[in-house]
Amino acid sequence: MPFLVEKLQFNIQNSNDMIHQHPFITLSEVKEDKLDILRTRLEAIRVELQKKQLAEEPVEFGKVSTLHYGRWVILSRDSFRDEPAVPVGIRLVLTTNYDGVGEDHQEYHLTELVTKLTKYIDDLYECCIDYPEPGERTEESRKNFLKKGMISTSAFYNGAPGRSVTQIHQEAALHQHIWKFLQNTKWDEKTPAVEIHRAIRQEVDSNPEFAWSKEKAGVQGIKWLPFLGWGSLLVLLLVLGLVFFLIMWKVWPPFPSWGWLLVPGPVLLWILYIFLFHELWDKKVTLSQSELDDKKIDELKKVEDFFPQNQFTQVAVLKPGLSRRFNFWLWMFRTEVLAGCVFVKGKLLNIPTIHFARWVRIDHGKHVLFFSNFDGNWEQYLGDFIDQSGWGLTAIFSNTVNFPKTSFMGLLGIIPVVLGKIPGLFNRVPRMPVTFPGTNIVLTGGAYDEEHFLAWSRSTQIPTQLWYCPYRHLSIKNINNNTKIRNELREDLTEAQAKLFLKRF
């Protein structure tokens, strides 16, 4: 089981602090007369990077020890499938996911970027407005330029919280070493698993290279306190609904049978409001994949499927009106809370293939960028979303222009997901819009309208000119499994536990 292990140095002060992963994004205006030069330089860097990665040679990006993922994307009017809500120019987007501890983590990361990738930074950003002239370029002036275009992230997901780039490489090397030891050692069929586990630990301890493995890795658990804190807001709404229910029950005898709906009233009223005044009036989208621009699809595929991991970059226009913008904010808030507090075990709503994902509102909140780093190919990735979280995806993106028509924010899609857990009932969630009997009212739609959803996804996806990951051969399952191997290696296991340990290889 070969893994590519790149040697990186990770110099962080206060090493006893838990390392966290952070999102960074900056947008810089591109000079129109320099756009072709910028494209040419990005393509040259991409080709060189890909060539060295395929040959498993060291690359310049590997010198940035904090960098998990990085990408450069050109964003212009042509990037938008739909008419932008506000005029847009040509911008160069730099986005990274990086390690950091303490309050100065961003400063450290930017310092690494501009000092380790100086030539790339200068070659690309001299095509942008207000980048320092050659005689004025210093570490500080370069960092200040990148800071000038920084924007905040609306929601951020990390599939392996707390794992630094260095730790990921170390644990992959440990996995590889143990796997080779198991393959090269003859074991009697009757050898107890606990004895093999003990032999593995002795082998690892005899190798100074793995001295770090004697200390168990910290693994983030569910953050119940902040989760319950934010959840208390929803509980407060339900309590208010209950109080209103009790009052009405006293003053309105005989109380109608539907009165129990007053308990979740505020939530139901909002869903009903969005349905009656917005979703019913959305036009039906009929774009199919066969109608997509072949030239654009070829450009997207040009940088896909070279490695077990892939990237996805998307830009969409938010629907007009305060209600839609507020609804999008609500779902971003919910996603940020759940991603940071609950989905910390390598699965985002039971999807086990996502390394990092984020949503970013730009242009005064009128447009949204979505970035994802995932395992497998494009079809598998979106198929996982449809089957496991089509309702969540619909709730978010139904607030964008020309998303496949839906009702009730797609939340009725939760029903077949739950029923699908019952053995023999469903093999998978229906990948087609479900309508109310005898009407044209869509009950699910959105992401569950697979044909039109996949076409919408491809048509709003934009080319990623340059993408980098230092552990592109490792899946998120690999990364989390390797941490379990490291920690279980130091435990006194029962025979049953030791057998499960050996199944990790």
Whether residues 180 and 118 fall in one domain = no
CA angle centred on 498, ends 492 and 503, rounded to 5°: 145
The full DSSP string for 390-429 is: HHHHHHHHTTBTTPPPBSGGGGGGHHHHHHTTSTTT-SS-
**Do 143 and 202 have their domain in common?**
no
Domain presence at residue 305: yes
Instruction: Look at residue 252 and tell me if it is in a domain.
Output: no
Q: pLDDT tens digits, residue range 268-289?
A: 788 888 989 999 899 888 888 8
For residue 358, the surrounding DSSP H or E stretch is strand 354-362
Cross-sheet strand order for the sheet of 20-29: 20-29, 91-100, 67-75, 466-468
> Which position has the token pair 């996911």?
97
Positions in the chain short of pLDDT 70: 1-17, 227-265, 414-443
- 234 lies in some domain: no
302 and 423 share one domain: yes
pLDDT reported for residue 12: 40
The pLDDT, as a whole number, for residue 267 is 76
- What letter does residue 318 receive in the DSSP assignment? B
Residues 70 and 158 in one domain: yes
Four-point Cα dihedral 144, 148, 152, 153, nearest 10: -80
pLDDT in tens, 377-430: 999 999 988 888 888 899 999 999 999 999 888 887 766 666 555 565 555 556
- Residue 251 falls inside a structural domain: no
CA 255: distance to chain centroid?
47
Domain extent for 176: 166-216+477-502
User: Are residues 279 and 318 located together in one domain of the fold?
Assistant: yes
What is the pLDDT, as a whole number, of residue 105?
95
Q: Indicate whether 7 belongs to any domain.
A: no
46 and 174 together in one domain: no
Kindly state whether residues 398 and 495 are assigned to the same domain. Answer: no
- The pLDDT tens digits of the residues spanning 139-151 come to 999 999 999 999 9
Alpha-carbon gap, residue 304 to 464, rounded angstroms? 10
Task: Clarify whether residues 37 and 121 are in a common domain.
Answer: yes
Asked if residues 69 and 358 have their Cβ atoms less than 8 Å apart, the reply is: no
Q: How many domains does the chain have?
A: 3
The answer to whether residue 13 sits within a structural domain is: no
pLDDT for res 442 = 64
Share of the chain above pLDDT 70, in %: 83
3-state secondary structure of 165: helix
- In-domain check, residue 1: no
Spatial contact of 353 and 376, defined as CB atoms under 8 Å apart:
yes
Residues 104, 132 within the same domain: yes
Digit-coded pLDDT (tens) for 293-346:
999 999 999 999 999 999 999 999 999 999 999 999 999 998 998 899 889 999
Asked, for residue 232, whether it belongs to a domain, the answer is: no
In this structure, the answer to whether residues 348 and 282 fall within a common structural domain is yes
Residue 448 and residue 308 share a domain: yes
Are residue 170 and residue 131 in the same domain, yes or no? no
CA-nearest of 498, 487, 502, 478 to 172 is 478
pLDDT of residue 28: 98
Mean confidence (pLDDT) of the chain: 88
